[in-house]
Each structure stands twice: as C-alpha cells, then as structure tokens.
A and B are shown apart, each in its own frame.
Chain A
C-alpha cells in the first residue's frame, strides 16, 4: 500500500525538520528553566523562616514551627514604631471589639499561614468557652464525607487513573497535531514556493508524494508526543520520589486501555495529517490564501472531547466516539471511563481506518488537481466536487 518512494519522501521530510542539535539545546534550555524555577522557589520559600509576631499579653497562643509569638509590655504605638523602624517584629496582632488586626509592613505569603494558625487558636478558644471536648471539636472541624454510588455498572468512576491517562493522551494529541500543523503547512506550501513540486511530480505519483509527506510529518508528531510523554512520566517519577516521598508505583497504568489508546492515537495523527495535507495542497500561495486556518479544524476533536469529558455516558460523548473524524480523541476517553463491549472500540477503529483510506485518496487527488490548475487555487466547491467524485487519474 505504501510504496518505497513514499518511505524515501517520509524519511526526507522527517529528517528535514529533525534538527537534533537544536532539539538537544531546547531540552537543555527547558531543563535549565525548570531548575531555575525550582531554585528560585527554594530560596524564596518563606515557610522555612521563623517569624516573630507580637500579640496581646492575654493571648495564650503557643509558638509553632514558623511563628514565635511574643507579648511585649510596651504600648501599641511603640510596638508599631519598632515594627516600622527596627523591625523587631514581622507583625503585630491586636484585638479590639472582637476584631483581630494584623499590622505588617506589606503583604507576604507567610501571612496566610498565620491567619490559619490564628483561626485555629480562636476556634479552640470558642470551644473552651462552650465547654466542648477535644473530640467534639474535632468532629465539628471534620468535613462531611460524601460517597458516590453509581448505579450504571459500566461507569468506572469519576476521577479514575484511566481518566488521567485519557486526559494525558488528549494533551499529547494536541501537542502532536500542533507539531504536524506547522510542518505540513510549511513543507507543502514551501515546496510549491521553492518550485520543487513540479520536479517531484515527474518522479513520484501524487499519491506517493502525499503519503510520504503525511508519514514523515506524522512521525514528527509522534516523536513530539513520545518526548512529551517521557517528560510527563519523568515529572511523575520526580514528584512521586522526591516531593511526595511515595516511591514509584505504576499500578495505575491500565494496559488494556493503553493498548487501545495507541492505535487510536496513531490513526488520529495520520487522519489529521492527511486532512492538513489536503488543505495545504490546495493552497497556492500561503501569503494570500485564507485556507491555512482551516487546518486548525483538526484540533476540534480534542476540544469537543474535553468539553464532554465529565459526561462520558452522555449522548454527545457517544456520538463523538463513533464519528470517524472525532473518534480518535473521544473513544479512548470514553473507554477509559466507561466499560464497553470489545466490538465498540473495534468497530470505531474500523470506521476510522475506512475514513483514513478515503481521506488519503482525496488528499492525493487534491494535490494532483491543484498541480493541474497552475497558479490557480481550487475553490471550496471544486474541492467538495473532488471529494464526492471517485475518479482517479
């Protein structure tokens, strides 16, 4: 089905946009930025400092890790003067008519923690006044735990790990298609501008040319998705090991869902790349044509799926998961969240393959007809006419 010539074109296109030195530099740059942000956060972390807070003498609040409460005997005006001039204290707390006021030089992040600690202190004071025991107080502070019982047996749950995987795939698809979008447009219209197309036409058929282009840029898209997935995975490992101190746990990875996700994602990238290729092939001059923006339609499946992700059993998600132009994004998400019979994703996949075949032929046809028009851009009416006709040359 895919000729040797198409493979050569695909390899050429992939390597044309694969600048490993620049890629390496961009990764190093990204890592440097992350490291700089981490270092900045570490050195500006206010939670590691101890703050001295002046409180009224009758405050029985105890010192905590972050706050040292002092009870000065001097007048409030003097306390405030010292706060301003000598910075003896980081803050001065006053209580007047049941209103607590924190006097500081300016707003700081540590003040939120102080607010929490003051709230806890006052809550305990009120509890003591009401003669509540510590258990009663704990019960009052405990939020209501609402359990969800889903009667639809097929619904796997609201925030399952599978949903997270599906969401990650949506993000990866978006990254992949954004990569393909730029490259397909640049490569096809650029080749026309550089007058290479006519030369290539004499060597390979329009279909071989289109197949090669789409394969090459789909590979680039998949490479972008794979590297982004690795970055996501690395981030997860770093957070699990160094931040949460939990160790690495991959039990949440559902291999069945993953096995379905991969073909849907790959076919989705190919389908979108063929669509982009068809539109780009109909553009004669990207500087004057308005058709380039139409290629962004390929982002809609992800957007629509994202909009209905919280209703995986709803009609909208069902329709999206069957429609061949959106199923590559919607079906994996639906599968991740709802238990489906095996034939449903299988049939959806078959429909997707059939659409891919049709779009592949159409893209080749548009390129051929576009070449025959010499400097004239086909109208939308003509493109629709070619899409409906099955005539091949």
Chain B
C-alpha cells in the first residue's frame, strides 16, 4: 500500500494541530512519526484512519491498482493512542470479536490468534480476563488485535509506551515480522532507539509542522550533526600540534593523550586518519555517529530557537 499525503492541515478552533504537512509512504515501509507531545502526530494518524477529515490537502491511498481518498477499513489495522479492550472478557473472546468484525471466520481468526499469541508468549493465558493481565501484556493483546486480519497498512500510535525494555525489543521483532509479511507500518513513538532500529523513513514534527523528514541518513545530514572520531595516542601530544596537522577540523582535548575530532560530511575519515598516522602512533580509534536521540534533541532545540527568534 502506498500513501501520498499532500499539504494536509487541521485546525481545532484557534489551534493549528497540523499545518501543510506532506509525505509519502511506500509499500512495505516502516514510517515513523516523531515529535514531542502535541506535535500533531496523533492528529495526522486520526486523519489517516478517517476519524477526522483534513481541513485542506489530500490523502491518496493506492493498493493493488485501486485508489482511495482514505484508508479503507478492511485494509487497516489500528492501535489507537487511547487504547483499551473489554477488561471483563478473556483475551480469546476480545480477539475473536475484533477479528470477526474484521470479517474473519471463527476458524481463521482462531488460527491467526494462535500464531500471534505464541509470538507474544500468551498462549497459556488466552482464557484469562484482560483485567488479570499486566499493562504490558494488555498492550501485546492490543497489538495482536491490530494485525489479526493481516491488514495492508498498520497504524500504531505509540506502540512502545508502557512496555519494559525486554517487551520493547519484542515489539521491534514483531514490527519487523509485519514488514517481512509485506505490511506497511506507520508508527508514532518517543523511544528513539527503537525507531532507529526500525524505521525506513521518518518525519520529525513540532507544533504541527515538519522539522525534518526522510531516511535516518537524510535526517542526520539535514540536521547537520557531525560524526566524531575519538583517538587515543601512545604518547602525549599538544592540541596545537594536532590542529596544525588537521587544520580544517574541530578538535577538542579530553586529556593529553585523548582527543575528540568532529568530522563534517565533506571530511573523509580515512584521509584524516592517514594524515594522523603519518605523524604519530595511535593506540585506539573510535567513531561516534550521532544517534536519533541526540538528533531529535538538537532538532527540537534548534526549532525552539528559531521559534523564539
């Protein structure tokens, strides 16, 4: 399923929840919507689900040579931000009900359910009422409910929230499995480490607007965050000496033998390293790329500065 979103906007009274946002999601991609609370992620998700209509702009959905102006319910699997199922019903009854609403036969639903319950290690507990489960396990049931009918598009609003690190990893595996099955996944999240492992494309938003968009590499480039090379020398070296050997680079001394060298995109790692090895002996070289978390914080800080200016 391919989605082309063009200049959508949504206002709630005087508040512009989403302003002129455009993006494209290709079939089989995992697409992440990132941003602080109130950035407009859930508003975009609700427009994609068809719960609200954009005030302006368009959403074009293409699936198997068919085109739609919204995601058809039968092709959609959805995990809402405000989630919950029927607490006084068992896992099996909850899932069976939702699967049958999706049009699955009881037999097919039970088969699909058995597979996903196995994945999330909930098979033994399928007859327990939902209220007896921990929050994390309830979350897993909710995730299963979203994919039981094998939709073409899965939209997950904060799938990692409320999960411990182990279960977050399980969700990463789960999402990779969805991608492997050809499903297109849209997710919103605050757990940057998880997103970095998963997302093919991402959209970083603040106050309803796009701050950064593209692949992780694109975003890093757009953010202008530099790679860092950490070097340790066998003997003490003066900072001024190093600066002479590498005149274009920003170098910081961490100790008399340890230095941090910032590399802009145009600087070659191998060329810089070659230059250094000609002059001195290195005991350790370590590359540090900025992670999504740093990138997110920097981008948000830059956005706030621009906004205040």
Size class of the contact patch on chain B: 20 to 34
Our pick among A8, A195, A201, A203 for the contact of B51 (Cβ within 8 Å) is: A201
Q: Mark B114-150, 1 if CB is under 8 A from A, else 0.
A: 0000000000000000000000000000100100000
Known: A195-B82, A202-B80. A393 touches B53 (CB 8 A): yes
- A5, B85: Cβ atoms closer than 8 Å: no
Chain A 1-39 against B: per-residue CB contact (8 Å), 1 yes, 0 no? 000110011001000100000000000000000000000
User: If the complex has contacts A8-B97, A204-B101, are A199 and B78 also in contact, measured as CB distance less than 8 A?
Assistant: yes
Residues in B with CB closer than 8 Å to A205 are: 73
B221 touches A (CB below 8 Å): no
A198 neighbours in B (Cβ, 8 Å): 51, 78, 80, 82-83
B76 pairs with A200, CB closer than 8 A: no
A196-B85, A198-B80, A393-B53 in contact; A204/B97 too (CB < 8 A)?
no
Q: Residue B102 at the A interface, CB < 8 A?
A: yes
The answer, yes or no, to whether B265 is at the interface (CB within 8 Å) is: no
Give complex CA distance A195, B86 in Å.
9
A315 in contact (CB, < 8 A): no
B88 CB, min distance to chain A CBs, angstroms: 9
Q: Report whether A202 and B78 are in contact in the complex, using a CB–CB cutoff of 8 Å.
A: yes
Whether B101 and A5, one on each chain, are in contact in the complex, defined by CB atoms closer than 8 angstroms, is: yes
Residue numbers in A under 8 Å from B97 (CB-CB):
8, 12
**Is A371 located at the chain interface by the 8 A CB criterion?**
yes
Most chain A beta-carbon contacts within 10 A, residue among B77, B82, B101: B101
On whether the beta carbons of A194 and B73 are closer than 8 Å, the reply is no
B298 within 8 A of A: no
A194 near B51 (CB under 8 angstroms)? no
Q: Please give, as numbers and ranges, the residues of chain A lying within 8 Å of B76 by CB-CB distance.
A: 202
Whether B233 is near chain A, meaning CB under 8 Å from some CB there, is: no
Which chain B residue shows the least CB distance to A190? B86
Alpha-carbon gap, A198 to B45, bound state (A): 12
Residues from 26 to 74 in B contacting A, C-beta threshold 8 Å: 49, 51-53, 73
A8 touching B85, Cβ below 8 Å: no
In the complex the two chains form, what is the Cα distance from A157 to B138 in whole Å?
64
What chain B residues lie within 8 Å of A12 (beta carbons)?
97
Q: A8 vs B106: C-alpha distance in the bound complex, in angstroms?
A: 12
The interface size bin for chain A is: 20 to 34
Is there a chain A Cβ closer than 8 Å to B224's Cβ?
A: no
Cβ B85 vs Cβ A199 within 8 A? yes
A116: CB under 8 A from chain B? Answer: no
Are A372 and B51 within 8 A (Cβ)?
Answer: yes
Interface centre among A4, A203, A204, A372 (most CB of B within 10 A): A203
Separation of A199 and B103 alpha carbons in the complex (Å): 15
Which residues in B have their C-beta under 8 angstroms from that of A196?
84-86
What is the minimal beta-carbon distance from A122 to any residue of chain B, in angstroms? 70
Q: Which of B49, B82, B87 has the most chain A CB atoms inside 10 A of its CB?
A: B82
The reply on B98 being an interface residue by CB < 8 A is yes
A194, B101: Cβ atoms closer than 8 Å: no
Nearest CB in chain B to that of A201: its residue: B51
Q: In the complex, what residues of B have CB within 8 A of residue A5's CB? A: 101
Task: State A43–B134 Cα separation when bound (angstroms).
Answer: 57
Expressed in whole angstroms, the minimum distance between the Cβ of A193 and any Cβ of chain B is 8
Bits for B94-118, please: 1 = Cβ < 8 Å to A, else 0.
Answer: 0001101111000000000000000
Say whether B101 contacts A9, CB under 8 Å: yes
Beta-carbon contacts under 8 Å, A186-219 to B: 194-196, 198-205
Set of chain A residues within 8 Å of B49, measured between Cβ atoms: 201-202
Q: A194 near B86 (CB under 8 angstroms)? A: yes
Query: Are the CB atoms of A203 and B98 closer together than 8 Å?
Result: yes
Cα distance, A9 to B101, chains bound together (Å): 8
Quick check: B101 and A8 within 8 Å, CB to CB? yes
A110 to chain B, nearest CB (A): 55
B101–A195 touching, CB < 8 Å = no
Q: Least Cβ distance of B9 to chain A in Å?
A: 16
- A299→B103 CA distance, assembly (Å): 37
> A9 — which chain B residues lie within 8 A by C-beta?
101
Q: Contacts of B102 on A, CB cut-off 8 Å?
A: 203
B40 to chain A, nearest CB (A): 14
Please report the C-alpha to C-alpha distance between residue A16 and residue B90 in the assembled complex, in whole angstroms.
Answer: 12
For B98, what are the chain A residues with a Cβ–Cβ distance below 8 Å? 199, 203
The smallest beta-carbon distance between A6 and chain B, in angstroms, is 10
* Interface 0/1 of A358-375, CB less than 8 Å to B: 000000000000011000
Residues of A within 8 Å of B101, CB to CB, are: 5, 8-9, 200, 203-204
| Cα-based distance from A273 to B202 in the complex (angstroms) | 46
Q: How far is the CB of A112 from chain B (nearest CB, A)?
A: 54
Q: Would you give the shortest CB distance from B142 to chain A, in whole angstroms?
A: 8
A196 to chain B: closest residue by CB: B84
Task: Name the B residues within 8 Å of A204 (CB-CB).
Answer: 73, 101
Q: Are B83 and A202 in contact (CB under 8 A)?
A: no
For the complex, give the distance between the alpha carbons of A57 and B213 in Å: 117
Alpha-carbon distance A12/B89, docked complex (angstroms): 11
Residues of B within 8 A of A371 (CB): 51
**Shortest distance in angstroms between A298's beta carbon and chain B's nearest beta carbon?**
26
A202 touches B52 (CB 8 A): no
Closest 6 CB pairs of A and B: A195-B84, A202-B78, A198-B80, A195-B82, A194-B84, A203-B101
Given contacts A5-B101, A196-B86, A202-B76, 13 further A-B contacts (CB under 8 A): A4-B103, A8-B97, A16-B86, A194-B84, A194-B86, A195-B84, A198-B82, A199-B78, A199-B79, A199-B85, A203-B73, A371-B51, A393-B53
CB pairs A–B below 8 angstroms (5 shown): A5-B101, A202-B51, A202-B77, A372-B52, A393-B53
